[in-house]
Structure formats: C-alpha cells, structure tokens
C-alpha cells in the first residue's frame, strides 16, 4: 500500500492507482498484439483495449466505491446515461486512441474523482512508457513514478509547476491542433513547442516541463479530468476561453475550448 498522503482520500487514491495499473497492463497486452480498429456512432475510433480496460476500471471502482456514479467514455457512448450527483468518477480508459492505433507509446489510462464540479483526485498511467502520475488536490500533493513489469512503483518523486519566464514553452498535440489554437498561439511569447500525445500534455505541464497547453476545440470531461486534478495538485489550473475555471458535470459531459497553465495565467483568446 502506498498510503502516501495525509489527505483523508489517501486510501481511495491508492485504490485508484492499482485499478489504473491493472487496466494499463491489459491495454499494453493488446497494444503489443494485433487488434481491430472499430468506429463509434460519432465516427471516432475505438479498439478492444478501450473496452477491456474500461471493464477492468468499472469493476474495480464498483468494489472500491460502491454506489458512487461513474461516467466512462465507452459506456456513455452507448447509453448516454448521466447522473445528477455532486460526486462521481470520470474515466477515459484509453486517452490517445489515435496514438494507440498508430503505435505511438503516448496513450494513457485516466481516472478522476469529481466533487461539487471540481476534480479532487486524478490518476494517469502511460503503460507503454511505464510512467504514472497522481494528484491529490486537497492535500496539494502531486507525484510521478515509474513502474516495473510486475507493476511495482519505483523512483517516486514529487512534481510541481515551474515559474514561467519571459517566453513560454507550449504543449501541443500530435493529432488535434486546429486553426483557432494556432491563431491564439500567435498572441503568446512562445519559446518552444513540445509535442505530446493524450493527457500526457497536462502531466508534463504539472511536472514543470512546459508553461501552457491551449486547446481551443471541444473535448469531453473524461479527456481532461484526471490531468486537471494532477495539474491543480501541482499548482496549475485549467480555464475555459472566457477565463472561468473549467468545471465538470456539464450537459453531455462536454468541454469547451480550454487553456491549461502553470504559474502564470495567460491572456484569453481574442473574442470574435
């Protein structure tokens, strides 16, 4: 047992870590074999790994926190069933499905706990690179570690945002940059662009490897919740295009465009 935080959520967080590790282990087995790419109703790709990893997570959460609602990407795609509750889990079993399909190692398993519209716990596991990120917002505790083949956790270190300089390093996407994001970037004092897949962009921001990550196109709440918790615990934040804190439990669990940042809140996009 990790029991690493003084937060009352410590035991729960440890349980979420173990669930994410098991889901990631199964996803990695599928990744290293042959798999079929299918299409959901919205034409987005899905694989066996998404579905099997999600089943592991749902089963684990039912045992860990029976009675707490879970919004999971693949289940919601089928049922469109939401919950009117102050406390629920958001699950993205494989964030970066396109990375998974293209055999790029930067796909992640994501689990977050939401309370009163804010993420308070987040776990992100990238099994192909043996990297684990964890955030406990109430305890203001974020950390990263490496995992062994038998899922032991090694080289755990606390992480935190860095102080932004005059010019900023920007996280950008392999797959999802759009004209609005590119136009916004022209407003900013950019030093370097750092490409990464999936929710690892938020993790690297929390780790102090960059200063800002804008994405001015729609996402779903399960795409951002775990990374948002880790970033908050590390001292950063995510705002929407109007400057309001990104919140959860919105209709359809849809996010507007957002800006994630470390020590310095950037200017808002020019309003058209």
Binding annotation = 73, 92, 94-97, 223
Lookup: tokens for 241? 């295009």
pLDDT digits (tens, 9 = 90+) for 189-216: 999 999 998 899 999 999 999 999 999 9
pLDDT for 201:
97
What would the CATH number be for the domain defined by 168-261?
3.40.190.80
162 CB neighbour count, 10 Å cutoff? 17
Please state whether beta strands 258-261 and 212-215 pair in parallel, antiparallel, or not at all (unpaired). Answer: antiparallel
Binding annotation for Mg(2+) = 73, 92, 94-95, 223
pTM over cut 0.85: yes
CA 226 to chain CA centroid, nearest Å: 4
Cα distances from 33 to residues 28, 56, 129, 174, 199, in angstroms, run 9, 19, 17, 23, 23
CATH architecture of 10-158: 2-Layer Sandwich (3.30)
Binding annotation for substrate = 73, 94-97, 223
3 pLDDT more than 70: no
Ranges of CATH 3.40.190.80 domains, the chain: 168-261
Task: Give the start-end residues of each E strand in the chain.
Answer: 38-39, 45-46, 69-72, 87-95, 108-115, 118-126, 131-136, 141-147, 153-158, 168-173, 190-196, 212-215, 219-220, 237-240, 254-255, 258-261
pLDDT digits (tens, 9 = 90+) for 56-93: 999 999 999 999 999 999 999 999 999 999 999 999 99
pLDDT digits (tens, 9 = 90+) for 251-262: 999 999 999 999
């Amino acid at each position: 047992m990790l029991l690493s935080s003084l937060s009352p959520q410590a035991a729960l967080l440890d349980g979420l870590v173990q669930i994410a590790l098991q889901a990631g282990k199964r996803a990695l087995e599928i990744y290293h074999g042959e798999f079929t790419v299918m299409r959901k109703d919205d034409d987005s790709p899905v694989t066996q790994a998404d579905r099997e990893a999600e089943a592991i997570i749902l089963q684990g959460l039912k045992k860990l926190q029976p009675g707490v609602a879970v919004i999971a990407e693949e289940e919601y795609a089928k049922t469109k069933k939401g919950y009117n509750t102050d406390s629920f889990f958001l699950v993205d079993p494989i964030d970066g499905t396109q990375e998974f399909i293209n055999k790029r190692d930067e796909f992640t398993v994501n689990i977050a706990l939401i309370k009163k519209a804010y993420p308070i716990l987040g776990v992100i596991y990238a099994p192909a690179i043996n990297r684990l990120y964890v955030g406990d917002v109430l305890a203001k505790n974020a950390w990263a570690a490496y995992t062994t083949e038998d899922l032991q956790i090694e080289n755990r270190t606390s992480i935190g945002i860095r102080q932004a300089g005059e010019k900023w390093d920007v996280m950008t996407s392999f797959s999802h940059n759009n004209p609005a994001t590119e136009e916004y970037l022209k407003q900013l004092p950019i030093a370097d662009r750092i490409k990464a897949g999936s929710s690892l962009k938020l993790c690297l921001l929390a780790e102090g490897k960059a200063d800002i990550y804008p994405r001015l196109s729609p996402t779903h709440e399960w795409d951002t919740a775990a990374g948002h918790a880790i970033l908050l615990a590390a001292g950063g934040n995510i705002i929407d295009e109007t400057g309001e804190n990104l919140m959860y439990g919105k209709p359809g669990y849809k996010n507007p465009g957002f800006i994630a940042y470390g020590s310095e809140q950037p200017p808002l996009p020019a309003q058209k």
